[in-house]
Amino acid sequence: MSPTPPRPLGSRYELLDLLGTGAMGEVWRARDRETGQERAAKVLRSEFARDTEIVTRFIQERSILMGLRHPNIVRVHDLVVEGDRLGILMDLVDGGDVRGRLRADGTMTGRDAVVVVGAVLDALAEAHSQGCLHRDVKPDNVLLDGALLADPGAVKLSDFSIAKLAQESTVMATGLLGTPGYMPPELFLHGQFSAASDVYAAGILLYELLGGRTPFAGPGTAHTVGHRHVMAEPPRLPVDDRLWHVLGTMLDKDPRVRLTAAGTARTLRDLPDAVLDRPRLPVQGHPETWATSGGTGERSEPIHVQERPAALDPGVTNLHAAPVASAPLAGTGQVRAWGPADAPDEGVTSVGRAAPEHQAPVLTPGAAVDATPVRRPWLVWLTVAVVLLGLISGGVAFAQSRDGGAAAPPEAPGKGAVATTAVQADDARPSGLTVTREVAFDPASRTLRLTVRYATQKAALTGPFLEVVPAADDTQQCPAVDWQGAPQPSNIGRTTGILTACAYAIQAPTIPAQSSWEVTAVVDLDLGDDPEAVSTWLERAAGLTAEALGGASVQPSAYPVQRLADVRVDVPAGVTVRTRNLRVVLRPVWVSGPDDSITLLYDSSTGQSSGLLDQVAGGLEGVSLDESCGGALSISRQRAVSVLRPTEDCRIGADVGNFDVESSPFTISSLGG
Residue 518 pairs with which residues in a beta bridge?
A: 453
The crossing angle, in degrees rounded to 10, of helices 162-174 and 52-67 is 150
49 to 26, 78, 176, 430, 634: CA distances (angstroms): 13, 15, 21, 45, 58
DSSP letter (8 states) at residue 596: -
| Cβ(601)–Cβ(585) below 8 Å | yes
Coil vs helix vs strand at 614: helix
Question: Using CA atoms, how far apart are residues 416 and 421, in angstroms rounded to an integer?
Answer: 14
Neighbours of 409 (CB within 10 A): 9
Contacts of 636 (CB under 8 A, 6+ apart): 642
Question: Which of 580, 621, 622, 616 has the alpha carbon at shortest distance from 598?
Answer: 616
How deeply is 45 buried, as exposed, middle or buried, from its count of CB atoms within 10 A (0-12, 13-18, 19+)? buried
Question: Which of 515, 593, 513 has the alpha carbon at shortest distance from 550?
Answer: 593
406 to 95, 131, 403, 419: CA distances (angstroms): 80, 55, 6, 14
φ, ψ at 356 (rounded to 5°): -60, 145
- Is 136 annotated as catalytic? yes
Question: Which of 244, 270, 269 has the alpha carbon at shortest distance from 120?
Answer: 269
**HEC assignment per residue over 354-420:** CCCCCCCCCCCCCCCCCCCCCCCHHHHHHHHHHHHHHHHHHHHHHHHHHHCCCCCCCCCCCCCCCCE
Question: Which of 41, 31, 160, 144 has the alpha carbon at shortest distance from 96?
Answer: 144
Give strand ranges (E) for 572-643.
581-582, 585-590, 593-594, 623-627, 633-636, 640-643
Is 138 known as a binding-site position? no
Contacts of 151 (CB under 8 A, 6+ apart): none
Question: Using CA atoms, how far apart are residues 498 and 559, in angstroms rounded to an integer?
Answer: 10
E strand or H helix that includes residue 523: strand 516-524
Question: Using CA atoms, how far apart are residues 185 and 271, in angstroms rounded to an integer?
Answer: 27
Question: Which of 664, 634, 637 has the alpha carbon at shortest distance from 570?
Answer: 664
187 to 200, 202, 216, 444, 490: CA distances (angstroms): 11, 15, 15, 56, 29
CA 469, 470, 472, 478 dihedral sign is positive
Question: Using CA atoms, how far apart are residues 574 and 244, in angstroms rounded to an integer?
Answer: 24
Task: Select which of 78, 112, 136, 655 is catalytic.
Answer: 136
Contacts of 474 (CB under 8 A, 6+ apart): none
The crossing angle, in degrees rounded to 10, of helices 195-211 and 110-129 is 170
E strand or H helix that includes residue 483: strand 481-483
| Cβ(454)–Cβ(435) below 8 Å | yes
Catalytic site positions: 136
Binding residues for ATP, as ranges, are 42
Question: Which residues fall in the annotated binding site?
Answer: 42
